[in-house]
Chains A and B, each alone.
Chain A
Amino acid sequence: MAGVSTVHRPDSAATTRRGEGLIEFLLRASAAVGIVTTVGIITVLVVEALFFFVEVPPVDFFTGTRWSASILPYAFGVIPLVTSTLLIAFIALVLAVPLGVLAAVWMSEFASQRVRLIIKPILEILAGIPTIVYGFFAITVITPLLKATILPDLGTFSALSAGIVVGILVLPLVASLTEDALRAVPRGLREGSYALGATRWETVRRVLLPAALSGIAAAVILAMSRAVGETMAVVLAAGTNPQLTLNPTESVQTMTAFIVQISLGDTPTESIQFKALFAVGATLFAITFTLNLISAWLVARYRNVYE
């Protein structure tokens, strides 16, 4: 190679390669932190819940309709906590699903690019506001507003206020996931519909929504999971009164609110109440985990169809 200065090839190459194995090990270890966390969470919940079930039979826990952890006689039937949780989640979804889906349709089918660039960040801001702030909003605005307008007898705490605020809180989630699902619908389907003279609304109703259905279902399920696991907004808005009721104007206690209540007090760690915290936590985890899996399965399904 005359005329070209040579680059000496030092054996540094060999040393850099010796490090490769170590680096890959470290990277793999980091990725495994996730697995360790999952296994850790499940182990902790199962083991600690077992200590509880030694004292309270699982049948009593899962089928009991009375929950009284602080007032004698104690009762640990989890059904009131579960139904309260579901009641609030239901109210939230009744609000968030229609609004969220409509918002998504509007963003993906009606809004101009420029408007979308304004709206998207607003939804992201809404999604990023801490839930404690939503809780504050519920007690300072939503409950007083409900009292002043349609429900003058509403108490300070109610499932309704909590449901509404949780609905606001999960709305951005429903909207953005639904928008993803709508965007995954191939252009060809839209164009086919418009070419037949359909209006936008007809295209949305007859083509897009059916095509995006499993994606929208996934969004709804994930929103439900978020609503079930939501804590601070619910603690502040729904109160801590464990009762079996489907009346949304009552104060209720959700699973998460019970966990907070026990953690806030000076409950001794050996007490039955403290052990109940883990049993309720395990139940909560099982419910949300199942919902998340269903949602992931639905997403995988619509991806399979269109990608």
Chain B
Amino acid sequence: MNEREPVTKPSVSQIGASAPSGATEATSASSKNPALLLENVSCWYGGFRAVREVSLAIPRNKVTALIGPSGCGKSTLLRSINRMNDLVPGFRMEGEIAFEGTSVHARATDVIDLRRRVGMVFQKPNPFPKSIFENVAFGLRLLGETTGIDALVEESLRAAALWDEVKDKLDQPGLSLSGGQQQRLCIARAIAIRPEVILMDEPCSALDPKSTLQIEELMRKLIRDYTIVIVTHNMQQAARASDYTVFLTMGDDRAGYVVEQGETGKIFTAPQQQLTADYVSGRFG
């Protein structure tokens, strides 16, 4: 069997090294101090290895896109960050994921607290069968919050660019909204508890193009306050909406690995690897 293409594993400092044009000092500062750091992460479902030795740094207040063909382990990787994979029987992870310098899998790490600080938006909008208001307030109520809920709900809905559409019908069921609105409701729900990172698992795959653009615009606004990691199979989306792009594909054993990562503009215009070039130009995937 052929030796695989050498996998680029840039060191952490490499990622932010070429700051995008017009980047402020804060950007380069944040990339030296990434929000999330993945080192040699491998994931297994039972005996099947889904992800092989991935190392990444996720810069603060940026959108980082994970792209690659379906089945390459992007979602698995994403769900390992807030340990949603704990819920999958037979799942196992090796390597290290550090969130703000603390291992997410360490014994002392509280998974509940981790998930409160690392929010998630799913592939298919999954509002609760409750009112729009209660959907957004859900996480606050979990925290035992009793005061100021109204204001926080409004703020979150505004931040998710949904307020104007729903302000007169907050007591309507969340499930009565359109697909795009439901997904923005889920984003509002996630940011209501003020996480530090928002993980998005193909958030637009169930949406029409117009809603997709709305979500992408929203992501650009949200990075002022949040770090965003998005999994997408849509290359245009990664090109439009992300600052950094990580390209994964799977090897002969179907385990996903990182081929190349870097600033989005570079990945799409001047990829270093042939595989990346083939993928972003639509020749496979």
Contact = CB atoms under 8 A, between A and B. Distances in A.
A6 B224 CA distance: 15
A28 to B, nearest CB: 19
Chain B: interface residue count, which band?
Answer: 10 to 19
B213 interface: no
A3 B152 contact: no
A264 interface: no
A12 interface: yes
B108 interface: no
A108 B196 CA distance: 54
Interface stretch (B3-11, B138-146, B266-274): B138-146
Q: Give the interface size class of chain A.
A: 10 to 19
A301 interface: no
Given A13-B112, A13-B113, A17-B112, A7 B225 contact: no
Interface class of chain A by DSSP = loop
A1 interface: yes
Given A5-B152, A7-B152, A16 B224 contact: no
Contacts of A73: none
A10 interface: yes
A72 interface: no
Interface string B111-151: 01100100000000000000000000000100111000001
Given A10-B143, A13-B143, A5 B225 contact: no
B216 interface: no
A21 to B, nearest CB: 14
A4 B143 contact: no
Nearest to B196: A1
A9 interface: yes
Contact of B194 (A1, A2, A13): A1
B143 A12 contact: yes
Interface in B180-201: 192-194, 196
Given A9-B116, A13-B113, A17-B112, A3 B143 contact: no
B226 to A, nearest CB: 8
B155 interface: yes
**6 closest pairs, A vs B, by CB?**
A12-B144, A7-B194, A4-B225, A1-B225, A7-B193, A10-B144
